[in-house]
Structure 1
């Protein structure tokens, strides 16, 4: 169990908001509008509503079983070490696949300023992931205070963007409301999972609160409210201010600031996007490289390839470069990653149904479970990758057991 560090409700809520308000928001409104048109607002609202039971489920788990292991720990408690390892695999292998997607969002802003299209976006990717790789190789950290500043910068940019765009909202931009049919809403919702990944951090932080049973639910309510308001506000003004141009935009926040404020806002937005993305990629490289080592130590991954922080880190770095060079459009690549996130949520909420006592929390977990299963289905064929990864973990563990090398249950 994690030693407590007297995390307050306000600090916990701020960390949770920072975990969920990822850099994907700088381009998600455009991707969702491309999939569903103005009807993407329905998908945004649906994901915000889903956030409440999903976040509450992980908060209930964290309050009852405070532990830094998060979903993997709860999966192990409910279903055993093999399922826990499958959760670890699904998250670990999603990181190198997701790095090019995260940086592609930012690359759109950089190419919007410098030009160069795909070449500039690829160069931006190499600079950001290369910097994160070097920083983690030498054990350099972006401090917690800097991470908080980055989160505040993102929130500030979102608020300024919304306020600047308000005078330019046009009701006629809501028609046609669903140019791609109502099925487009499901496609948009599957994409938007990217922007809502992070609620599992609530359970991972639970052991650090002064009083988990009291403080985790309070921090959760604050975080859900803040995230919901910001997401819906940005999505709404994006649709109403940019109209049809939103679907083809590579830098929607820059477009909104440009029509609202004018001046060199595109350059400023690009700089902020790069800094935010570097912070996010650095954090993911640091956490996932250690996850790979932990999985290798427990026998859930081959130690020759993933044992040791540098080996695990190098795999993520090279895997990210390989994923960036794959001939996948941004939409498909994002769906492959969100499929992995969604499967982790499916396993996490299923574990909650077994671990939480009868009552309101278990009922909420049931609602969350049904919702994320639906999202996994909406993900379509791309969800198969997450199932293949989880299945690969189970096969690998079965082979080890047959060869007399069982997987350790870990924590």
Structure 2
């Protein structure tokens, strides 16, 4: 299947729903947990890492918006890799994204569960019970279809943005400049460690490309949704990160629920219930966007032969990829079960997921450099983003082992399929001339 540039109505997502999907995918659980983890790694200097990742988001988001508007397809980055580099690259990047969703979903659900436990108690049972409930709700929402899921996401986004602004605004009178010194207690090299953690917080700019064909007017609405989401997400992340450091001080590194602590400072201890509600909204938003994107991707991979054909149903805009959704949801529950039995924390899950998404970014940006026309804004953004993603790859270090293992599995599957069908794998499809009407 060859994708083509299109700005004609193909799906049902509106501009507002698409923006909400972006906000949910990128803002997500990072804002409820990562400020504390980053503060533990680098102290107040973690603010530099936050600022750097916000700056990186601009060219990165612009790159994927340009690709999504030009090639709206459920395969997302996998489709771009196929157009640019061929079937093997498409399978690798598709597998890396698809198999990053289960550990990421497990970590996200546990983040939400930790906030509920902080409000109501109950220990590990409350955390795991909440995580299971979150996974079940998001699976059910996506089983109904993207139209319902998009409206669900729009409501979530409005509520969570309001809660974040209220919590930060009420806590800022407690801010102390003394909490910003010493600024780099662990040295400036620790900023890199914090940045590798924060990749989790900014993963998501690529996720909505899998839903590009679901927009009513992808050529127009996808770039607009991207711009709105970049501005909103960047502002909220910086506000929450600054408040976490300036208000909580050294205590920021000692809490698993920094947003709850901020609300408690501004509104009293009873606000932990409100913090739990905000955490649940954020978690639902992120998981909803990734379940939707992952399900669409799995169907597209089945359609293109990189996954079993049984998963292919649902790759067409407007269809619900229930088989792919069920497979990804089952693996997410399995990942949660492994974490519960082994007693692992969320840290390794975050790093493994982040390593996978950095790999997806690297291939996606490289594809953009090849696919987008010279001197276009999208290609310029891709060239800028490529250098930054290369640095993130270096900082990911040993956590690239997981995407490397997934890469090996993807190539092995393609080899077995080729032997079974006795047909050669196709090369990159011929690229069509650039249509200037979609710039």
TM-score, normalised with respect to structure 1: 0.89
1:374 is aligned, of 391, 401, 408, to 391
Residue 351 (structure 2) aligns with: 335
SS in 2 for 1:338: helix
Residue 48 (structure 2) aligns with: 42
Q: 1:215 to 1:286 in 2, by over 3 A?
A: closer
1:383 is aligned, of 400, 403, 428, to 400
Residue 179 (structure 2) aligns with: 173
1:301 is aligned, of 287, 304, 307, to 307
SS in 1 for 2:421: coil
Give yes or no for the alignment of 1:397 onto 2:403.
no
Q: 1:268 to 1:141 in 2, by over 3 A?
A: farther
Q: Cα deviations across residues 317-357 of structure 1 (Å, max 9, x unaligned)?
A: 32442244344332222111111111111110000011112
Q: Cα deviations across residues 252-279 of structure 1 (Å, max 9, x unaligned)?
A: 1110011111152101221332344245
Give yes or no for the alignment of 1:85 onto 2:85.
no
RMSD: 3.1
TM-score, normalised with respect to structure 2: 0.83
Could you tell me how far apart the structure 1 residues matched to 2:284 and 2:121 are? 21
Residue 30 (structure 1) aligns with: 36
Q: Which runs of 5+ in 2 are unaligned?
A: 314-322, 430-439
Given that residues 61 and 356 in structure 1 are in contact (C-alpha distance below 8 angstroms), is that contact kept between their aligned partners in structure 2?
A: yes
Q: Cα deviations across residues 191-229 of structure 1 (Å, max 9, x unaligned)?
A: 111111111245445556676555544443332222111
**1:14 Cα deviation from its structure 2 partner:** 4.1
Q: Which runs of 5+ in 1 are unaligned?
A: none
Give 1:232-381 correspondences, 5 Å limit: 232-262=238-268, 264-302=270-308, 308-309=323-324, 310-311=326-327, 313-359=329-375, 360-381=377-398
Residue 316 (structure 2) aligns with: none
Given that residues 293 and 312 in structure 1 are in contact (C-alpha distance below 8 angstroms), is that contact kept between their aligned partners in structure 2?
A: no
Could you tell me how far apart the structure 2 residues matched to 1:255 and 1:150 are? 22
Give yes or no for the alignment of 1:57 onto 2:74.
no
Residue 80 (structure 2) aligns with: 74
Q: How many pairs align?
A: 411
Could you tell me how far apart the structure 2 residues matched to 1:301 and 1:203 are? 19
Could you tell me how far apart the structure 1 residues matched to 2:72 and 2:312 are? 28
Could you tell me how far apart the structure 2 residues matched to 1:316 and 1:289 are? 12
Could you tell me how far apart the structure 1 residues matched to 2:270 and 2:69 are? 46
Q: Cα deviations across residues 37-64 of structure 1 (Å, max 9, x unaligned)?
A: 1111000000000001101111222333
Residue 99 (structure 1) aligns with: 105
Q: 1:206 to 1:96 in 2, by over 3 A?
A: closer
